[in-house]
Amino acid sequence: MGEKDSSQIDILKKALKTQRTEALSREQELQKQLSGLWQRADKERKMLMSQVTQLKNELKASSPKTLFNDVTSRLSELKATVSNIRDGSPLSEKGLWSFDSDGEPLNEDQKSEGAAISYSSDAVGMGEGEAKYRIKGLEAKVAAQQDEIRELRALLTERDTAVSKLQQRNGFLAATLEEKETEISALESRLNKLKRRLTESDSFAPRAWVVKEAVKGGYGLEAAGLISSPASLNENWSESEDIVMIPAHEEFLAKIKDKSAAPLLGMVESFIKAFINKNPKMTDFGMVQNFLGAMENPFKTHKLWKGADDEDVQETLDALEAFILGDEQVFNSIFKNVGEPWERRDRHLSKRMFCLQFVKAENLDINKVHQNHPALSLARKMILQIDEARAPQEKIECVFRAARILYRMLNETSGESASADDFLPILIFVVLRSQAPRLYSSLDYMSQFRRPSRLSGERHYYLVQLQTAVAFIDHMDAASITINPEEFEVKYKSREREWEETGGQVTIVSESASDPRP
């Protein structure tokens, strides 16, 4: 509703209120006048009827002469009364009119006027007829006043109807405005969420112009602020940085701790307690998935999540998944009871990555411009964070961000969209250099405990790419990379002996993605 409409409605309301007040005041005044007229007319009617009755009685009881004089006197008084009734003069104390039309008192001559009227029954009838005529006139006046009152009431009804319509219109416009404001608020909320997601998607890669200028201009990467600079990306993306991995997670924690959400929190905590008591293993993912599915409707119908769209509900369930599986006891129990097959494969993969640390970027046919790019170091750190993350969504987010860093590097350095053939060798190299622990178990954990409905799209694609990279490392030999077979065999056996001598202790690699620490 515009300011102009609001102003017009206010003015109209004030005008209607004023008119209604005036009409009510006028109605009260008319009712008072009408009541007075009715009382006055009734009094006059009773007085005249009393006089006529008295005259009739006197006609029967008096002598002709006395009767003539009395009738003459009475007729004079009646004539004066009728004349003053017409003029609206006040009554006398005797019940007769004692003032003329100008408001002056009647003298004795005026009061005795009409003595010449003949003694007959017609005289009495004429006086009575005039009284009746006056009464009828008063009744007509009263009826006219009643008509005026009815007209005023009709006008008031019409005004009330107009006010009611304006109030309805005002209420409708206010409701429409409130609805629009709610829609705007919801759209702003969704826009903020999209902005946040876009920021989270793009913020973990180096600035486009920094990388492009450093590569294009041949600047030193350290001088460009991309390597070993406290204020650069290495500091901004250290392993210890608290990166928001789950959208709406903080909002979920705030809501679930609200008093009104106590029943929901109670159900969640009861499930966590029961799940821990079961001593969960990697194969118990079905219990978690069933519980998350059962909790969708209770969260959707709760007042704290009122108005949430489908994506908001899914993000709430994502946060609930992280709340359960991110619990330290739950996570530790699952990986403690991971089972012999997973432990054996984790040890085997760790040994393979340790023994293959001699493989260089050129052995995987990686372009020279990418071999020492700082994005490889950033991606390696994200791969290492997979083991530190607890919730499956957090682990997948680490994979997603590592992949996006590499893809952005490829797009910005080549000037065109990168393909999977360009991406996979670099991902293999980054994973190999990371020597991430328990990587095989983490891959299975992400695939099984992540909700199937959310294990799709770009993140699922990158997870498959990581699984492919791990499988490639697990089966890597001289024939699968660009290297002399004899050189491969010698270096591999040398690293293998070192592994056995150190009891399988993994050597920590340096910050450079290309060269392991000796």
The whole-number pLDDT of residue 83 equals 59
244 and 319 Cβ atoms separated by less than 8 Å: no
Residues of the chain above pLDDT 90, percent: 35
Query: For residue 505, what pLDDT band results from cuts at 50, 70 and 90?
Result: low
Residues 89-136: tens digit of each pLDDT:
444 444 444 444 444 555 555 444 444 434 344 444 445 566 667 667
Question: What is each CA distance from 365 to 368, 421, 427, 467, 514, in whole angstroms?
Answer: 9, 11, 12, 20, 13
Q: Which of 290-304, 410-424, 466-480 has the lowest mean pLDDT?
A: 410-424
Residues 248-281: tens digit of each pLDDT:
788 899 999 999 999 999 999 999 999 999 999 8
Cα dihedral 20, 22, 28, 30, rounded to 10, equals: -120
The whole-number pLDDT of residue 115 equals 40
The architecture of the domain spanning 203-213+228-236+243-501 is: Up-down Bundle (1.20)
Q: How far apart are CA 456 and CA 400, in angstroms?
A: 12
The whole-number pLDDT of residue 449 equals 94
Query: 373 by DSSP, 3-state: which?
Result: coil
Write out the residue limits of the CATH 1.20.1050.80 domain(s) in the chain: 203-213+228-236+243-501
The whole-number pLDDT of residue 200 equals 55
Task: Report the pLDDT averaged over residues 126-153.
Answer: 70
Q: Which of 108-112, 210-214, 363-367 has the lowest mean pLDDT?
A: 210-214
The whole-number pLDDT of residue 168 equals 80
- Whether the full predicted model's pTM is greater than 0.75, yes or no, is no
Query: 89 by DSSP, 3-state: which?
Result: coil
Task: Report the pLDDT averaged over residues 496-500.
Answer: 91
Q: How far apart are CA 277 and CA 280, in angstroms?
A: 8
295 and 267 Cβ atoms separated by less than 8 Å: yes
Task: Please give the structure tokens belonging to residue 61.
Answer: 């009881």
